[in-house]
A and B are shown apart, each in its own frame.
Chain A
Amino acid sequence: MKRKLFALVAVLAIVAAACGGGSADTTTTTAADTGGGGAAEEPMKVAFVYVAPIGDLGWTYQHDLGRQAVEARFGDKVETTFIENVAEGPDSERVIRDFANKGFDLIIATSFGYMDPTITVAAEFPDTQFVHISGFKNADNVATLFGRMYQPRYLSGMAAGAATESNILGYVAAFPIPEVIRGIDAFTLGAQSVNPDIEVRVVWTNTWFDPPTEKEAAEALLAAGADVIAQHQDTTEPQKAAQAAGAVSISYNSDISEIVGDSVLTGPVWDWGVKYISIIEEMMAGTYDGSESYWGGLSDGVISLAPFSDRVSQETQDAINAKMAEFESGATDVFCGPIVDNEGTEQVAAGTCMDDGSMLGMEWFVKGVSQ
């Protein structure tokens, strides 16, 4: 009787594991076995740790496009693996340590909450190179990687500011951490640059990925009078909610015009492949600075703006392109004074710009944000 029970449980567990998924899904893509090549070198082994499923057309999807770009570029010289849906915290430490144990040369941890686990494991495996996305802790073998997303956020804010009639923009946001706050502030400044009366209303969802919750948050903003919905989430539900209500939206992560048509005006997008390829090239050449803090801007190609919808007027498109050129050339940046926060305190004085350190730790909202 007891034996039967265990056998059954074991079978169920094996089936569950074989179908992969719920909690962690491993997929290895080995590009061509070099087999009898004799002199052929071992391929470089690269592992990716993802926080959400790939199929989300969002954050993780863009990272996986980066992984695919690596495969396409290096062919059988590189072998990539990923695990999706890895919870931040202890779970991720186990996954990262497992990769290190298996002898991966480069481990890329793609979520903010993997920061401490990455640092912990990296100390145990000094010969493995780690890259952590969006964090601020480095070590000799831990590089940090991010993009100046606030630049395209500002540009998308200009499109939103030109589109609104109610002067209320809605922003569905995950967590009040500096990355998200910086995005909200940049978006607001961009919108106010074309329309000073803009108010940005923020709703916090306390989740990166939860389709029904994100939809509900967007609907609440639409009901409160917002007619443009922007977001810092991992799904496309806020944009779908905007489209269903006859409003327009600003996307994030990917170009989602295939899903919601011309109701998405434009949006900041990631292109990780560019940087992943250059890291691997440098590692192969032995020149990679394994402790770098990389923060790429528009000119580096890691970030850009999704194509404009037909609903964005030519005049607005020209203004946005002109501003983009200024950001690319370094002539100006988003957080240059005077900037007053939403409690009336001057945070950036006229004639100065914020340095990277204070931008990375940003915890105040600009005037016009209500949250």
Chain B
Amino acid sequence: MDLDLVTSILAIATFAGASLVLATIGEIFTERVGILNLGVEGMMIMGAVTGFATAYRTNNVWLGVVVAGIVGGLMALVHAFATITLRADQIVSGLAITLLGTGLASFLGQVIGPDGGPLVGLTGPKFTKWPIPGLSSLPLVGEGFFNQDPIVYSLFVVVPVSWYFLYKTRPGLYLRAVGESASTSDAVGVSVFGRRYGYTVLGGVMAGVAGSHLSLSYTPGWTENLTGGRGWIVIALVIFATWNPARAVVGALLFGGVNAIQFRLQAEGTNLPASILNMSPYILTVLVLILITRTDKLRQTIGAPAGLGIPYHREERE
């Protein structure tokens, strides 16, 4: 592989991986506080359709991002209400939200275009790339890291801040404590309900924004099934990243880049079985899953939240 090929693969992996990083870090916050949200796919696709529709009507991509975030947050609020207040099964509620989101997005895509018509096939405003002078011409990483759109650049802040917040600050410690053992946290006076609501909604906002990155930048425009299952990749990515925002970046580059890599190899005429490359990130995810369920010690070292998926009920404390 020559240098140009590596450069361009890195550029595509970053661009393709950006929405994955955002949604994954959002889901890490949600799962770290003990709530499993399988509604990511539904929130991403709703973010994609509402973000594009808003940008199309207002001719302002930033408004599109804001609306996408609000929509994602509102959907997460439904999940939070169902699972935290009503203590419904988190898996069922999450799946219902994904089904609702994909259905509603298809429906909206047919009626919120101009004159109540479809959005499909319209060309609207989109993010353009902002090359950073000097840095963007660096060999190898210049194209991938410094010739991107503003959403990708925002990750330079979001990723380190999320990591620092989670591991180095007191609110981050409380967050993780709630996900580890809600009853213990409650006993020492750390609010369980408020935190669970807050971080679930935050996760939804990030998923919505991630969806709008697809419809406003990566594949500008709206087509049904635009997210193509990327919300499910996010669920796998959280495990792959072992609930750590920094490792989520590595994972997202890998998951995002693997298609680009195998397509490049195909286009260059290399006869490598594409399916093997395509499934490699998932094999690694399964491996991580096996490892963390094997031993409690390893689980603790890695930091999988012990209280994930368990509803908390004050009066039924164990």
User: Which residues of A approach B to under 8 Å, CB–CB?
Assistant: 1, 4-5, 8-9, 12-13, 15-17, 19-23, 25, 52-53, 55-57, 85, 170, 201-207, 209-213, 215-217, 219-221, 223-224, 226, 235-237, 240, 258-259, 370-371
Contact = CB atoms under 8 A, between A and B. Distances in A.
Interface string B90-124: 00110011111111111101100000001011010
B313 to A, nearest CB: 8
B224 A201 contact: no
28 contacts: A1-B87, A4-B86, A5-B89, A9-B89, A13-B96, A16-B103, A19-B103, A20-B103, A21-B103, A21-B105, A25-B106, A53-B225, A55-B121, A204-B266, A211-B223, A211-B225, A212-B219, A212-B228, A213-B228, A215-B219, A216-B16, A217-B263, A220-B263, A223-B264, A224-B267, A226-B267, A235-B223, A240-B220
Contacts of A19: 100, 103-104, 107
A240 to B, nearest CB: 8
B263 to A, nearest CB: 4
Contact of B87 (A5, A52, A85): A5
Contacts of B93: 8-9, 12
A204 B267 CA distance: 9
Contact of B264 (A4, A25, A206, A224): A224
* Chain B contact patch, size range: 35 or more
Contacts, number: 144
Contact of A56 (B104, B120, B274): B120
Contacts of B120: 55-57
Chain A to chain B: the 7 pairs with minimum beta-carbon distance, closest first: A21-B103, A22-B102, A220-B263, A12-B96, A53-B224, A224-B267, A55-B120
A371 B107 contact: no
Interface in B171-222: 214, 218-221
B289 interface: no
Nearest to A25: B106
Nearest to B110: A55
Main secondary structure of the interface of B (DSSP, over half): helix
A215 B263 CA distance: 10
Contacts of A217: 259, 263
A22 B260 CA distance: 27
Nearest to B266: A203
Nearest to B4: A223
A20 B16 CA distance: 29
Contact of B274 (A5, A13, A170, A204): A204
Interface in B114-155: 118, 120-121, 123
B8 A223 contact: yes
Residue among B102, B263, B269 facing the most chain A CB atoms (10 A cut-off):
B263
B308 interface: no
Contacts of A20: 103, 106-107
A224 B230 CA distance: 26
A55 B107 contact: no
A219 B96 contact: no
Contacts of B252: none
A259 B121 contact: yes
A199 to B, nearest CB: 9
B291 to A, nearest CB: 29
A243 B93 CA distance: 42
Contacts of B225: 52-53, 85, 209-211
B260 A12 contact: no
B267 A12 contact: no
A8 B82 contact: yes
A215 B12 CA distance: 11
B298 interface: no
B107 A210 contact: no
B102 A21 contact: yes
A1 B275 CA distance: 46
B267 A203 contact: yes
A12 B97 contact: yes
Contacts of B275: 206
B88 A16 contact: no
A16 B99 contact: yes
